[in-house]
Amino acid sequence: MTGASSGLGLECARALLSSDPGWHVVLAVRDADRGHAAAAGTGAPDRCTVKVLDLASLASVDNFIREYGCDGASRPPTHALVCNAGIQVVSGSRVTEDGIELTFGVNHLGHFALVRGLLDYLARPARIVVVSSDTHDPSKVKGMPAPAYTSAAALAQPATGPEGRCRYTTSKLCNVMFAYEMDRRLGAGTQGVTVNAFNPGLMPGSGLARDYGRVQRFASRFVMPALRVLPQVHSTRESGANLAALASDPRFEHLTGRYFDGLKEIRSSTDSYDRAKALELWQASERLLSEIHERQTSGTVSRRSEGPPPPAPAGDAGG
């Protein structure tokens, strides 16, 4: 479970652990201390393992995968992988440790590398759930700019990418296209792994608005919770329980290549079904990973953006 130290990820972990005493949850977090505090807050810390994972660093992703493989004899079989961590950057343009635009790097590329690296460690049957957002669909009126997908290479470059909120909605489109393309490559469930995308809805106070200005942060924390009477506004607990169900409930055992709004299967955006775009995203992502690994091998120093540190990835918040 990525992004498991707070918000949606933590609530999903709690729901999984309370639903079945057989579940053991690996909390993949940037900060080990926060991860251990989160594990204690689940009510079942003895069934949690905390591992450090920074999706803004492919070296960290690679190290996580290596350590996970080495733990094979001591950890329970892995039957679910939840790609939940998400970030929204609106205060300027920032990059990952490897020079990739931060929103695209964390929300898509880091998860892309993680899932591909962990596939061999999944015990069939297994499920992969990718947290997206209804903001990926321009037909949904959410007060967010429509995605502007041109190519993965363009999105990786901060100088040529769209403005912050548009980078976010575009990364959420990438999440859905990645889930569908992964499902096709895994034979639509015939290899024992299902892959689905999930929209948690708008979750006030989830932490995703931490890079917004003071007034917007205030509204997210104190005003938006009053809107939970609306159909697309949910608590993190409610959406966390829905996410846990997609990862574990027998009702969804054989469903794959789908997009869920909460627990309701619906159609995603028109662009998300564009196989040519999904193939380009996949192949370009592979090239980006290869180029970064080549730089690491040759000893090239990676660059970080100037300015304040990026907000920590949080459980995604839909709107």
CA–CA gap between residue 307 and residue 144 (Å, rounded) = 25
Number of neighbours of residue 274 by Cβ within 10 angstroms: 16
Active site amino acids: 168
* SS3 state of residue 235: coil
- Using DSSP bridges, classify how beta strands 85-86 and 122-131 pair: parallel, antiparallel or unpaired: unpaired
3-state SS, 26-85, equals: EEEECCHHHHHHHHHHCCCHHHEEEEECCCCCHHHHHHHHHHHHHCCCCCCCEEEEEECE
CA–CA gap between residue 7 and residue 301 (Å, rounded) = 34
3-state SS, 141-208, equals: CCCCCCCCCCCHHHHHCCCCCCCHHHHHHHHHHHHHHHHHHHHHHCCCCCCCEEEEEEECCECCCCCC
Angle, helices 275-298/58-70, rounded to nearest 10 degrees: 90
Residue 197's DSSP bridge partners are 130, 259
User: Do residues 105 and 292 touch, judged by C-beta distance below 8 A?
Assistant: no
